[in-house]
Amino acid sequence: MDTFALVVTIAVALFFTYTNGFHDSANAIATSVSTRALTPRAALAMAAVMNLAGAFLGSGVAKTVSEGLIATPTGKQGMIILFSALIGAITWNMITWYYGLPSSSSHALFGGLVGAALAGSSTVHWSGVVEKVVLPMVLSPLIGLVLGYFVMVGILWMFRKSNPHKAKRGFRIAQTVSAAAMALGHGLQDAQKTMGVVVMALVIGGVEDQGDAIPVWVKIACAAMLSLGTYAGGWRIMRTLGRRIIELDPPQGFAAETTAASVMYTASFMFQAPISTTHVITSAIMGVGATKRVNAVRWGVAKNIILGWFITMPAAAGVAALSYWIVDLAFG
């Protein structure tokens, strides 16, 4: 196997992780920044550290990505498929970042993998795609929406007799914990997705065998790039999550972050399902906001975000397929 092609593909995978970091950094910290629980730079630094730590908490999601979605041939064709999948995901990340749309980096990656595999006449494990990608894509936001609503209702009931100003000060402090938990879950989910891709590249290149443990250097590299990307920040998307959907106060921010973190940990450890942190936190914010009053949520903004969710996978798949045909024509 061409070592140069392997190195280039791994480098592109790490760059995808970097774009994932600055694209999705808003997931962990937008609510804390918008409620002034944390300053932007302090929040980004905290998120970067927790992303790094979260990357080492498990490997189930990485295994799902590397073995459960597509089967790529070894050799040049397999590497072209993987390279093209990453180009599709990165391209969609950059487009949605430019327009400040909190789409899912995860589903951009999954769409890229499926699109490139189909273009390369490779095998797509449709049962795995449906069970591990499509169903969680639909269910996790619904769970986040409903759970966020009821968590906020519970908080309102528990603190119904408290002094509002004192309660808000307390929740502003509590948000540092919930934001850290959210960032830890982001590292647990999203760093592992790239680990799975790098492992695929190593298997295609004949460096690793299917089922081998993830090399330590892969974990460190993916975690470090995600953290660097997170610290670079995603200010456009942060404004959308923190302000444009609804004006959050500290109790609402705490409820949304706690809900999203709980859903991510459950998906990672119980189901090894690679869910979207973007989908979960956005839906949790909507659910929390609806407790104030239904029209407090700017549903027009929410509608555009949800539309972006549904077009992410096919759009990334289309770009990946086009990339495959171009690269295969040039180097195949």
DSSP E strands, 96-198 = 123-124
pLDDT at 240: 54
DSSP E strands, 28-81 = 70-71
Closest CA to 85 of 327, 319, 331, 249: 319
| pLDDT one-digit tens code per residue, 157-192 | 999 888 888 888 899 899 989 989 988 998 888 889
| pLDDT one-digit tens code per residue, 249-261 | 889 889 999 999 9
pLDDT at 300: 67
pTM of the model: 0.88
Ranges under pLDDT 70 in the chain: 1, 25-28, 100-102, 233-247, 294-302, 304-305, 332
Sign of CA pseudo-dihedral 15, 19, 25, 27: negative
Angle at which helices 76-98 and 192-204 pack, to 10 degrees? 150
Residue 136, token pair as written in the block: 């969680």
What average pLDDT does the chain have?
Answer: 85
* Cα–Cα dist 234/203, whole Å: 33
Task: Print the domain residue range for 315.
Answer: 3-331
Exposed/middle/buried for residue 158 (C-beta within 10 Å: 0-12, 13-18, 19+): exposed
pLDDT at 299: 66
pLDDT at 97: 78
* Cα–Cα dist 150/65, whole Å: 32
pLDDT at 291: 87
**Which residues, at least 6 apart from 236, have a Cβ–Cβ distance to it below 8 Å?**
97, 98, 99, 100
Exposed/middle/buried for residue 40 (C-beta within 10 Å: 0-12, 13-18, 19+): middle
pLDDT at 106: 85
**Domain total in the chain:** 1
Burial 51-85 (b: 16+ CB within 10 A, else e): bbebbebbbbbbbbbbbbbbebeeeebbbbbbbbb
